[in-house]
Amino acid sequence: MAFATAKDGTRIYFKDWGSGPPVVFSHGWPLTADAWDPQLKLMADNGFRAIAHDRRGGGRSDQPWEGNDLDTYADDLAAVMEALDLHGAVLVGHSTGGGEVTRYIGRHGSGRVAKVVLLGAIPPLMLRTEANPEGLPIEVFDEIRNGVLTDRSQYYKDLSIPFYGANREGSTVSQGTRDAFWLWSMTVGIKGAHDCIKAFSETDLTEDLKKFDVPTLIVHGDDDQIVPIVAAGDKSSKIVKDAVFKVYQGAPHGLSMVPEYADRFNADLLDFARG
């Protein structure tokens, strides 16, 4: 297996498929790089070099006690970029991965980056505050923490329902997709999964978004039950200069794995990377 070594010695696993201009994917919580497999194959089949890593704390990466925060996640992404000496990369981040990509730009700049795609991403801030009334109350995140600490296996099975919109009439998400969500999530250590909740909910990424200086595509489902569009995509699209904002009507948080939305996202991703 291939690994990059982070600044603190943590080994970050990555998969590296195909050849051509690089497209680097960052996954959501509490998943692994495998959640991006359909898009990795799509891009590699179409003349791109497709790369995705397992965030520290889960999958095939190391599970250190420390470093489960967005600064370190961004630095881990930088370690992968530097280990592979990538330039002109398209960075694609879903959910927490979108926060990771955004903090990467904030901390490391866009010298190695050509474009950015944020899908159902957490920026600028998920937590409700006086300055961010559209966010979710802290009690929502406390419930997530409780679910992870008490019975995370059952919690992940339950979470897959709103994640993919399985509780909506006419949903076409399969049981297999929901089972895969559970499988990937259970490879994440409880420490990393728990700490990441604070990272994705309480990290303000507004100033990082202001540093974007490359073409940016923001995609968000207007029925996202995990990262509400009003607190995320809507706001980010107004902060990032000249961002292209695409709203998928009726789409859930995990839209890239739901048939009726995945085809559209794959086409938009490929067109944006080629453009």
pLDDT of the residue at 220: 98
Q: How far apart (Å, rounded) are the C-alpha atoms in residues 257 and 241?
A: 29
- Give CATH for domain 2-274: 3.40.50.1820
Task: Report pLDDT for 1.
Answer: 81
Q: How high is the pLDDT of residue 227?
A: 98
CA distance 201 to 175: 28
Backbone phi, psi, residue 252, to 5°: -90, -175
Tokens of 112: 């190695």
Per-residue pLDDT of the chain (275 residues; tens, 9 = 90+): 899 999 999 999 999 999 999 999 999 999 999 999 999 999 999 999 999 999 999 999 999 999 999 999 999 999 999 999 999 999 999 999 999 999 999 999 999 999 999 999 999 999 999 999 999 999 999 999 999 999 999 999 999 999 999 999 999 999 999 999 999 999 999 999 999 999 999 999 999 999 999 999 999 999 999 999 999 999 999 999 999 999 999 999 999 999 999 999 999 999 999 99
Residue 99 in contact with residue 206, Cβ under 8 Å? no
Q: Which two tokens stand for residue 37?
A: 């497999």
| Residues 6+ positions from 152 with CB-CB distance below 8 Å | 185, 186, 190, 193
Q: Which residues are catalytic?
A: 95, 224, 253
Using CA atoms, how far residue 84 sits from 3, 4, 25, 41, 49, in Å, is: 10, 9, 14, 19, 11
Per-residue pLDDT, 181: 98
Single-letter code of the amino acid located at 226: I
Could you state, in order of their start, the residue ranges of all structural domains in the chain? 2-274
